[in-house]
Amino acid sequence: MRRRDFVLGALGAGLASSGALDTLVGNDRAAKAASARGAIPYGAAVRTDLLDPELDYKAAIIDHCQLVVGEGGLKWIDLRPGQDQFVFDQPDRLMDFADRNGMQMRGHTLAWYGAMPDWTKTIASSAEAERELVHHITTVVGHYQGRIPSWDVVNEAIAERPEKGSVIRDSIWQERLGKRYIEIALRTAADIDPSAQLVVNDYNIENPTAQCRDRRTALLNLLRDLKDRDVPLHAVGIQGHLPGDMEIDREGLSAFVEEVKKMQLDVLVTELDVIDDKLPAREYDRDQIVAARARDFLGAICEAARPSAILTWGITDRYTWVPMWFKREDGKPNRPLPLDAECRPKALMKVIDKFTRAAE
């Protein structure tokens, strides 16, 4: 995939059994249907500090992406080393890079349980939590007002294993404010930048397991509740950290997206990669399975709706979070992303290309 003439405004608005012929035909149709309505912007999570020292990395981003998102930088731990500090250097540099190269930047993320600086543990009361959350979102969304068209406002709000009574994941926000924190975050972001696409972003909803099914149900209930109460919300982000050794629940995922569409919400793929620690050692075989998983995943989504963007969590296997949690036992490097460690396109890039490129 090469950089294409592209209307960036689009954002606002055989190895595995999955390689079976009928699946491929179905996915081809889904890819065509999605792309026939114009190209879908593609983007990747970026390690901003490496753009300058690693020229081939920088070139790969420029060459392939219409969107960027900081892999870090806008997380509380990066932005808020102290309670009175906001350190915008890194995201400002990424914004600059995006501007200079005709790309748009997504914002990740405003309210999450993870990557929180220690001082936030001292937030004691619900009033203090609300004050901090509102102050943070007002300042950060305000800093980029009109320049970040899409925000992951709330990240990973659904409990790992949702059970009756505890469907929302523990976090400082949930502990102090209950699930009201989600509404507070969305309303504040909408007040500060009414033009931004506000996204609730989550993962682990795509496999044929009871856990994924329960997580889909919990997420749909959350979205419905927010919509019923007119809380400003525009889209759901499906992260897509796909376990390479598991099938995609195509039916379950398509049905989920159908429901999202009925609520007049958009869908984005925000963090696609394929966790390959359990896949065969041979690179060719592994890359084919990785590509097939992504094809099933994107096919199931695109059959139900056209995503407003597709982003991978990183672009080259040289820089990926995957080995932090999913190192391979044979010591071989992970290959979860569209480009290999030398920034050469792999089978996964072809799949992404097929789903994102406008029909010629």
Catalytic residue among 130, 156, 206, 303: 156
CA distance 14 to 347: 12
8 belongs to the binding site for ligand 9MR (CB under 6 A) = no
Alpha helices in the chain (DSSP H): 21-36, 55-64, 76-79, 89-100, 126-143, 172-177, 180-192, 210-228, 250-262, 283-304, 322-325, 347-356
State which residue, 155 or 174, has the beta carbon closest to ligand 9MR.
Answer: 155
72 belongs to the binding site for ligand 9MR (CB under 6 A) = yes
Report residue 165 as tokens.
């009574």
**Is 156 a catalytic site residue?**
yes
When binding is defined by CB under 6 A, the residue of 71, 132, 276, 303 that contacts ligand 9MR is: 71
DSSP string, 219-276: HHHHHHHHHHTT----EEEE--EEETTS---HHHHHHHHHHHHHTT-EEEEEEEEEE-
321 belongs to the binding site for ligand 9MR (CB under 6 A) = yes
By CB under 6 A, the residues from 140 to 159 that bind ligand 9MR are: 155
Place of tokens 């010629």: 360
When binding is defined by CB under 6 A, the residue of 24, 50, 115, 341 that contacts ligand 9MR is: 115
Cβ pair 348, 290 in contact under 8 A:
yes
Minimum distance between the CB of residue 144 and ligand 9MR, rounded to whole angstroms? 18
Report residue 126 as tokens.
């619900």
75 belongs to the binding site for ligand 9MR (CB under 6 A) = yes
CA distance 2 to 116: 37
171 belongs to the binding site for ligand 9MR (CB under 6 A) = no
Minimum distance between the CB of residue 207 and ligand 9MR, rounded to whole angstroms? 16
Contact range with ligand 9MR by CB under 6 A, out of 13-21, 71-79, 227-235, 244-252: 71-79
Binding residues vs ligand 9MR (CB under 6 A): 71-72, 75, 114-115, 155, 239, 271, 313, 321
Active site residues: 156, 271
